Structure formats: structure tokens, C-alpha cells
Chain A
Amino acid sequence: GNSVTQMEGPVTLSEEAFLTINCTYTATGYPSLFWYVQYPGEGLQLLLKATKADDKGSNKGFEATYRKETTSFHLEKGSVQVSDSAVYFCALSPPGTASKLTFGTGTRLQVTL
């Protein structure tokens, strides 16, 4: 079946540090890949997505590239801010199944001054 594996947290970084959160997946065919973010006291929000191999999703300074050869979709940001502190979820949607998402376990990011 489909699955998503992301790095264990929490991840603690100083402001302006470089961020990488690893995500790998298992799925048949070419799923769509997503990063969702949950800020404290809020619901999950779509951060970025990629729908085919080699696509790069980007938003708010975050980027992730759909790598079919390594079945990965790692999230990166060059310079994190305190306001980026949140829980980040990697997810996939199999082709042809609308919006039925398979999520990873989530990675908590804490950014300090």
C-alpha cells in the first residue's frame, strides 16, 4: 500500500539556519506530493505541492522537488524564521483518487532566536 516516511522530530534550529526535512514515499504509479503545515492553534494548511516527477513546489521560501528516482520530496528553506515554528506533514495522493491523502507522522520544527 501507499506510505509516507518523514524524519522524526522535533527539529530545533536557530533563526536564519538552513532547514531540511526529509520525506520519502512508497506508491504505485505517479502520485501527487504535498507538504502541509500546522501552525499552533490552527488547522493544517497546504504549503506546497508537486504533481509530476522533477516538479518543484515552492511557497513562503520553502521548496521541495519531486524526485521519482529516489522517491523523495524533501522540504527545504534557506533561512528559517521564528514564525516557521510548526508541525510539517508530508503527504501523497495516488493518481486518480481525488484528494484521499496518505500522510507521514509529522515533524515538529522549533525555531529559536
Chain B
Amino acid sequence: EAGVTQFPSHSVIEKGQTVTLRCDPISGHDNLYWYRRVMGKEIKFLLHFVKESKQDESGMPNNRFLAERTGGTYSTLKVQPAELEDSGVYFCASTRQGLGTGELFFGEGSRLTVL
């Protein structure tokens, strides 16, 4: 069974540009999460999808961030326009509905560097 895959693994862009990160969850996992780790700090929750619906987007930092999950399969996270403080590693995670609390399956992360 394939794990959670994320693309790109690393993106370097200039301030003001746009970047789109993609996450393919494990097949059959209805729950999809985005988290972010800014340099040396804790991993912070961004949002949670159940299928194609946003269940909780309380962690999204501002309206420059847009997450979608059309069709309830893969998800994209777009940052437009990117700012320096957006640099970090963006993790995607998934879990099947009803799986034990906290047992998330994570991807390797997409590292974003904004210059």
C-alpha cells in the first residue's frame, strides 16, 4: 500500500510568487490534514478535510493560503502571494475514518523556501 505522497519535496520561490503543494493521501483515507513546521519550531495544525469538506480550518494563518480537496482524493495547498515567513516544511497526513485518535500517517513533507 502506497503511503502519503507529497509534491514537490522542495520548492524555492521569491517573495510574491505563488506555490502549490500537492498531497496524495493513502487510498481510502477520508481524513486529510495539513500541518506546517516553521524553522526549529513546533509542527502546527493548518486544516482538516473529511472527504472534500473542510472540517476545521482554524489553523490557516491568513487568506493567502487556500486548500482544496476536489473529489475527496488528493489535496492542494496554494500560497499566493508567498511571504518570507511562509518558509517551512508543510506536512500532509491522512487517516481512515474511525481509526484510533492521533494515528495519523504522514508524508515526507514539502519544504518551502521563500527568498
Q: Tell me if chain B binds chain A.
A: yes
Chain A contact residues, CB within 8 Å of chain B: 4, 32, 34, 36, 38, 41-46, 49, 51, 89, 91, 93, 98-106
| Chain B 22-57 residues near chain A, CB threshold 8 A | 31, 33, 35, 37, 40-45, 48, 56
Beta-carbon nearest neighbor of B3 in chain A: A43
Counting chain B residues whose Cβ lies within 8 A of the other chain, the interface size class is: 20 to 34
For A51, the chain B residues whose CB sits under 8 A away are 101
For A36, the chain B residues whose CB sits under 8 A away are 106
Q: Contact at A99–B42, with CB atoms within 8 Å? A: no
Minimum C-beta distance from A14 to chain B (A):
26
Minimum C-beta distance from B90 to chain A (A):
12
Minimum C-beta distance from B48 to chain A (A):
6
Known: A4-B42, A44-B106, A101-B45. 6 other contacts (CB 8 A): A46-B102, A46-B103, A99-B93, A99-B101, A101-B35, A105-B41
Contact of B108 among A4, A41, A89, A99 (CB under 8 A): A41
**Per-position binary interface string of chain B over residues 88-104, scored 1 when its CB falls under 8 Å from any chain A CB and 0 otherwise:** 00010101000011111
Q: How far is the CA of A102 from the CA of B4 in the complex (A)?
A: 20
Chain B contact residues, CB within 8 Å of chain A: 3-4, 31, 33, 35, 37, 40-45, 48, 56, 91, 93, 95, 100-109
Q: Contact at B103–A105, with CB atoms within 8 Å? A: no
Beta-carbon nearest neighbor of B92 in chain A: A43
Beta-carbon nearest neighbor of B31 in chain A: A99
Beta-carbon nearest neighbor of B109 in chain A: A43
Q: How far is the CA of A102 from the CA of B106 in the complex (A)?
A: 15
Q: Contact at A99–B109, with CB atoms within 8 Å? A: no
Minimum C-beta distance from B28 to chain A (A):
16
Contact of B42 among A41, A46, A100, A104 (CB under 8 A): A104
Q: How far is the CA of A102 from the CA of B50 in the complex (A)?
A: 19
Minimum C-beta distance from A8 to chain B (A):
10
Minimum C-beta distance from B9 to chain A (A):
10
Known: A43-B4, A43-B91, A43-B109. A99 touches B40 (CB 8 A): no
